[in-house]
Chains A and B, each alone.
Chain A
Amino acid sequence: MMKTKIIVVLLAAGALWSVRSAQAHHPFAAEYDVNKPLTLTGTLARMEWVNPHGWIYMDVKQPDGTVRQWTVETSAPGQMSRRGLKKNDFVDGMPLVIKGYQSRKDPTLANGRTLVLADGRSFYIGAVGGPNDGADR
């Protein structure tokens, strides 16, 4: 029993040690700061329409003229579909505006709440567990 415990701890430590970076998926409050709301205006670099959460990569021009790429977490494809959004609504290079909340630690990561397309259509793209800010209505 003791030997088993030691093996479990050693193996778990080994797994922890060798872990590499990966995309996150987590409760809102653990990753995002409700006190850091933001509006991103830019162009779509790439959209990952994937489960369990989608990812929008967008290029945002800074005041100094440089371009910074943001990563925006969305809800699942099924949730976005129900709101009328489709995978082929996303075309690389198209302009878009996203309202959301910034990550606590990653300065170019945000949780998306509202997506506004160039034609004026607006969609709720927030995942379950976000703040009660009315974005889903």
Chain B
Amino acid sequence: MPSVVPALEWLEALAWTTAIRESTWGYPLVETAHVASIVAFAGLVIMMDLRLVGLAFTDAPPMQIQRRLFPWQMAGLALSTATGLLLCCVDPLRYYGNVFFRVKLVLLALAGVNAAAFHLTTYRRAERWEDDPQITATARLAAGVSLVLWSAIIVSGRFIAFNWFD
């Protein structure tokens, strides 16, 4: 299998990635925007998950809550993904060799599969949530998995800064 390292070295040597990597304000601003958008996204996802698990807003139908939160969740996801990709471009070799970064990518993929599975199956039958215990149980499981995964993603993301295995 050809190594991705030469491509990452090329990316690292580009003028604009070098400029951000060596900047006084650019890098801290991108990093801060990344964290702020994760806070917005994860906070809204956690509130939805807590509703599905049955711990928050139980007096309102899940559909009503999800319909309101969804656009804001997507806005947070878009900004955190964009800033995250930018950070990867700025210092690709550092992230490539970082174990917590790899763990985070795997967890992100799992969270993506979990969310997609939920939205394509259980969520489609959401009108019947109120009176179908089977659907309620499936939604609760998806929400529980989501809570665990997003928490782990935030922890592994923070730990990228502390490379224990170099």
Contacts and interface: CB of A to CB of B under 8 A. Distances in A.
Interface of A: 1, 4, 7-8, 11-12, 15-16, 18-27, 30, 49-52, 76-78, 81, 87
Contact of B107 (A8, A19, A23): A8
Contacts of B93: 22
Nearest to B100: A15
A32 B98 CA distance: 20
The 10 closest A-B pairs by CB, nearest first: A22-B97, A15-B102, A51-B27, A19-B99, A78-B24, A11-B106, A20-B97, A26-B162, A50-B21, A49-B22
Interface of B: 21-25, 27-28, 31, 90-91, 93-94, 96-99, 102-103, 106-107, 110, 141, 144-145, 161-166
Nearest to A18: B102
17 contacts: A1-B141, A4-B145, A7-B110, A16-B103, A16-B165, A19-B98, A19-B165, A20-B96, A22-B97, A22-B163, A23-B166, A26-B164, A27-B162, A51-B22, A52-B31, A77-B24, A81-B24
Nearest to A54: B22
Contacts of A76: 27-28
Contacts of A78: 23-25, 28
Nearest to A22: B97
Nearest to B27: A51
A24 B28 CA distance: 18
Contacts of A18: 102
A8 B163 CA distance: 20
Contacts of A81: 24
A52 B27 contact: yes
Nearest to A106: B166
A4 B110 contact: yes
Contacts of B144: 1
Nearest to A51: B27
Given A11-B106, A26-B161, A50-B21, A21 B97 contact: yes
Contacts of B110: 4, 7-8, 11
A19, A20, A52 interface centre (most CB from chain B within 10 Å): A19
A57 to B, nearest CB: 16
Contacts of A30: 162
A4 B110 CA distance: 9
B90, B93, B103 interface centre (most CB from chain A within 10 Å): B103
Contacts of A87: 22
Nearest to B114: A4
Given A8-B106, A15-B103, A22-B96, 9 more contacts: A7-B110, A12-B103, A15-B106, A19-B98, A19-B102, A26-B164, A51-B91, A77-B23, A78-B23
Contacts of B23: 51, 77-78
A12, A22, A49 interface centre (most CB from chain B within 10 Å): A22
